[in-house]
């Protein structure tokens, strides 16, 4: 397997993108088994923990699956799954960023509200773990987009709505225009972290309206930062 050492600044993203690219190019196909974590870490010149985190992200995106006692495999495509058709819609050009924000603002505030209503103790613990990881990444000057994607995915999971969870998995996988690398400024990173703290706190305390408002304010703030950078 031909893989390249990753750059430290965006180590999670580099691993995730490399594996996704290998799947898209056919180097890895559904059912293929990935090398063990130790081998992948040596190929990529990173720690096993870093490889483990990247695999976790790809598993949440339903691209990889871990089978106990067997290893990690490229997920089989389920026949009749509408997910592929939705994903194919974005296979050409990147969607317009304004469209991305319109979609996110339509569904994500409601997801946050549902998460505040239904989140379990385990859901909250996972959200707090990802939030702590994002904070460490921002402090060290790394991009936090992987943590951002994971946190929003966990919020959808905590909502208890399987349809919303599937939608967010696809949207945050494919509608990446609102998180493109050139827009990952220090200002945006700090704004995202502060907003995520407010959202997670509201979810933890079961404050439904506060969670909805915090998510809406988060998206409004990100939208303002993105378009101020494009003027």
For residue 225, the model assigns a pLDDT of 77
Q: Is the pLDDT of residue 111 over 90?
A: yes
- For helices 186-204 and 208-229, angle between their N-to-C axes, nearest 10 degrees: 170
Query: Of the spans 8-12, 126-130, 172-176, which averages the highest pLDDT?
Result: 126-130
Query: Of the spans 16-30, 61-75, 179-193, which averages the highest pLDDT?
Result: 61-75
Helix (H) or strand (E) holding 71: strand 71-74
For residue 9, the model assigns a pLDDT of 44
| Mean pLDDT value across residues 193-208 | 96
Closest CA to 199 of 129, 105, 113: 113
Q: Can you list the domains of the chain with their CATH numbers?
A: 8-74 (1.10.10.10), 83-229 (1.20.120.530)
For residue 183, the model assigns a pLDDT of 52
CB atoms within 10 A of CB 228: 10
Q: Which residues pair with 66 in a beta bridge?
A: 72
For residue 139, the model assigns a pLDDT of 84
Closest CA to 85 of 170, 17, 212, 207: 170
For residue 173, the model assigns a pLDDT of 59
Helix (H, G, I), strand (E, B) or coil at 16: helix
Give how far Cα 205 sits from Cα of 20, 58, 76, 80, 210, Å: 37, 29, 38, 39, 10
For residue 48, the model assigns a pLDDT of 87
CA dist 222 and 189 (Å) reads 10
CA dist 151 and 230 (Å) reads 26
Query: Of the spans 50-59, 83-92, 150-159, 202-211, which averages the highest pLDDT?
Result: 202-211
72: exposed, middle or buried (Cβ count in 10 Å: 0-12, 13-18, 19+): buried
What pLDDT digit, counting tens, does each position of 126-169 carry?
999 999 988 888 888 776 667 788 899 899 989 988 888 877 87
For residue 201, the model assigns a pLDDT of 97
Helix (H, G, I), strand (E, B) or coil at 32: coil
Q: What percent of the chain has pLDDT over 70?
A: 76
What pLDDT digit, counting tens, does each position of 42-80 carry?
888 888 888 888 888 888 777 888 888 888 999 875 444
Q: Is the pLDDT of residue 170 over 80?
A: no
54: exposed, middle or buried (Cβ count in 10 Å: 0-12, 13-18, 19+): buried
């Amino acid at each position: 397997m031909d893989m390249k050492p990753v750059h430290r600044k965006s180590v999670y993203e580099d691993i995730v993108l490399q594996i996704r690219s290998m799947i898209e190019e056919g180097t890895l196909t559904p059912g293929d088994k990935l090398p063990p974590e130790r081998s992948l870490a040596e190929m990529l010149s990173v720690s096993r923990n870093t490889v483990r985190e990247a695999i976790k992200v790809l598993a949440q995106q339903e691209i990889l699956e871990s089978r106990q006692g067997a290893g990690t495999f490229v997920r089989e495509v389920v026949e009749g799954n509408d997910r592929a058709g939705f994903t194919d819609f974005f296979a050409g050009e990147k969607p317009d960023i304004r469209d991305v924000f319109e979609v996110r603002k339509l569904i994500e505030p409601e997801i946050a509200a549902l998460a505040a209503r239904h989140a379990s103790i385990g859901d909250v613990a996972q959200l707090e773990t990802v939030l702590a990881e994002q904070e460490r990444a921002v402090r060290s000057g790394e991009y936090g987009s992987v943590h951002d994607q994971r946190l929003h995915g966990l919020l959808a999971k905590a909502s208890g709505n399987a349809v919303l969870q599937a939608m967010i998995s696809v949207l945050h996988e494919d509608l990446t225009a609102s998180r493109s690398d050139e827009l990952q400024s220090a200002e945006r990173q700090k704004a995202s972290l502060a907003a995520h703290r407010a959202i997670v706190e509201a979810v933890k305390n079961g404050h439904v309206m506060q969670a909805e408002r915090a998510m809406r304010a988060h998206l409004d703030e990100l939208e303002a930062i993105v378009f101020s950078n494009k003027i």
